[in-house]
A and B are shown apart, each in its own frame.
Chain A
């Protein structure tokens, strides 16, 4: 019962966000991420991916519809205009300086962006923020910021976003599903 109630609250949160009528979504919902060169220098492992519309189209040509992972990816990227990922892992706990992400946060302060999720955990000292730029029917821009002691990840996606499809991808792609941390 309690799980169902939480699930309902989660769905309401998504639905409310997607239904938010933001007439100023005519402003760009694409948030291009900087390369975070100073974080790359400190990280033991970096993932920097920038897929604009042309690159998404190129990558989509290589997706094999008979492969389950590729088929899931093909559905997920339908309507997307760009995907930017910056993910950094550190050998030792590292507090990302606020100056590093100040530009990012200032862009997300624009009216057409709404922070729909903001969580902080004292247990593992992690923060997860999700921002959405949406019209009346679809999310048009999505930014996820995950900050943990040894990892910092920012994902920025623009286009017609289906959150449920993106959430369900892990484990179906050519990257193994990660173990739950809780």
Chain B
């Protein structure tokens, strides 16, 4: 991020914190894709992902005063979204809405449809914690040390989850 864009970002976030509704709407539009996708990959249900997204942003609005920067807010969004999804999976996992519609939305290259669809289904079969690790790693491109802070999980546990999940996915794909 260059100096100009960093300054613009800081100004925009200052406006959000000052209660500027338009600035907040802009922030929501910028980050809703990330939050919604985390919910969708974790919960495998569009309606549940939408509900989760709404709850997270409402909670964000209540917590704005405690978040110093936009980056801080993004980390907070990611963390809260994943934790909420894990809690929901542990309490009462929502039924999957199936991947056909998702695939049509997700895939730009029809040649990848089957593999991508299969991978998403397999990830969705992982238990909540390893699923969260995989989603954060490959959707958000986070490294294990960032994941362990987001999930409040020991680093070695994150690495174990990742290693074993990849082994399971590899085996089931073959």
Contact = CB atoms under 8 A, between A and B. Distances in A.
B91 interface: yes
B128 A174 contact: yes
Interface in A48-76: 48, 64, 66-67, 69
Q: Which 8 A-B pairs have the closest CB atoms?
A: A179-B171, A176-B168, A174-B129, A174-B127, A176-B164, A67-B90, A47-B156, A176-B165
A47 B158 CA distance: 11
Interface residues on A, range: 10 to 19
A64 B167 CA distance: 27
Interface in A31-55: 45-48
Contacts of B156: 45-48
Contacts of B164: 175-176, 178
B161 interface: yes
A68 to B, nearest CB: 9
B142 interface: no
Nearest to B125: A176
B119 interface: no
Contacts of B168: 176-179
Nearest to A170: B164
Chain B facing A: main interface SS:
helix
11 contacts: A47-B160, A64-B90, A67-B90, A174-B130, A175-B127, A176-B130, A176-B161, A176-B165, A176-B168, A177-B168, A179-B170
Contacts, number: 42
Interface residues of B, number: 18
Interface in B41-79: none
Chain A facing B: main interface SS:
loop
Contacts of A47: 156, 160
Given A45-B163, A46-B156, 14 more contacts: A47-B160, A64-B90, A173-B127, A174-B129, A174-B161, A175-B127, A175-B129, A175-B160, A175-B164, A176-B167, A176-B168, A177-B168, A178-B168, A179-B167
A70 to B, nearest CB: 8
Contacts of A175: 127, 129-130, 160-161, 164
Interface in B72-92: 90-91
Contacts of A173: 127
B126 interface: yes
Nearest to B128: A174
A64 B86 CA distance: 13
A45 B159 contact: yes
A176 B129 CA distance: 10
Q: Which among B127, B128, B160 has the greatest number of chain A C-beta atoms within 10 A?
A: B127
